[in-house]
Amino acid sequence: MAYTSGTAANYKDLLAVLATFASANGWTILEQSATRLYLCGEGLAGLDRIYCGADTFEDPAAGYYNWCLFGSISWRARREPEKQPLSCGKDRSFAYLWNAPIPYWMVATPRRIIMVAKISTVYQFVHLGLGDPPATDTQYPYPMLIGGCGSIRNQSYAVSNNGNSAFWANLGYGVRALLPGGTWGGYNGGAQSASNPSLNVVSANSANKDTILSGINGDYLLDQIFVTDSVRPSTYFAIDGLYRVSGHKNASENVFAIDGINYMVFQDVYRVGYGDYCALRLN
């Protein structure tokens, strides 16, 4: 798995940084401009075709500079993202950024990309690519997860409600997943999604989210995160390389190691409760 970090000049430059990083780590650039990036991942065996990307858009008067995230099962030149084959559509999953320097952290395999961006004192998250299902490629060939921090297009990173929450936190609405039957599902969050109102992003310890502590010897315990369905009881897939971790005596950008593997800690946007942190695998 590849890892990089640095500081982009602004939200458009961050898209260019992502393009460079992805193209060096198993992804082909299908379309690139100052405002759009469409990628194709080759998968771990070099045989897959994983289609996903992002558009940038802005409204300086309203104070937002955002990314719209999308995915599809194929790609056709000169088509808009929402018109690609079996696209998840646009205006469903967003990352809320700004037009100023952005510290970032990116990890990638040829199967998926995860990015964290620091905007002022809050963190924004992006997931593009496939999860890891408990199934064969024949049974579940395309477990795509498009994840951001919300489903509201025209809002700022500074919003402090469930409409601005990391895709892995199971609070907001910035999740789209392609289900085994070939339909896109969305996180319910108390709202009704046309395709699947029951999709959840949970971890094995979700019931104890508010009380999770570190281990008795001070070590941090990793809690795998899954995309599940509460109406049709199912576990669709795990999110590769991202885990819940305790916020007890912890803070964003801390790095710790388990069995020689490094992890970096991040909070859910602006939240700093014990159950509001994740750990991103760096190697």
Q: Write out pLDDT tens, residues 216-242.
A: 566 788 999 999 887 778 889 999 999
136 domain-assigned:
yes
247 domain-assigned:
no
What is the distance between the alpha carbons of residues 6 and 18, in angstroms, rounded to a whole number?
A: 11
Contact 85, 72 (CB under 8 A): yes
pTM of the predicted structure, to 2 decimals: 0.93
**Domains held by the chain: number:** 1
Contact 55, 77 (CB under 8 A): no
Does the structure show a pLDDT above 50 at 46? yes
212 domain-assigned:
no
What is the distance between the alpha carbons of residues 236 and 232, in angstroms, rounded to a whole number?
A: 11
Does the structure show a pLDDT above 50 at 98? yes
DSSP 270: T
252 domain-assigned:
no
33 domain-assigned:
yes
Q: Give the pLDDT score at 207.
A: 47
The first and second tokens of residue 142, run together, are 């395309």
255 domain-assigned:
no
**Which residue range(s) make up the domain with 150?**
2-201+228-240
What is the distance between the alpha carbons of residues 57 and 59, in angstroms, rounded to a whole number?
A: 7
Q: Is 117 helix (H, G, I), strand (E, B) or coil?
A: strand
Grade residue 206 by pLDDT with cuts at 50, 70 and 90: low
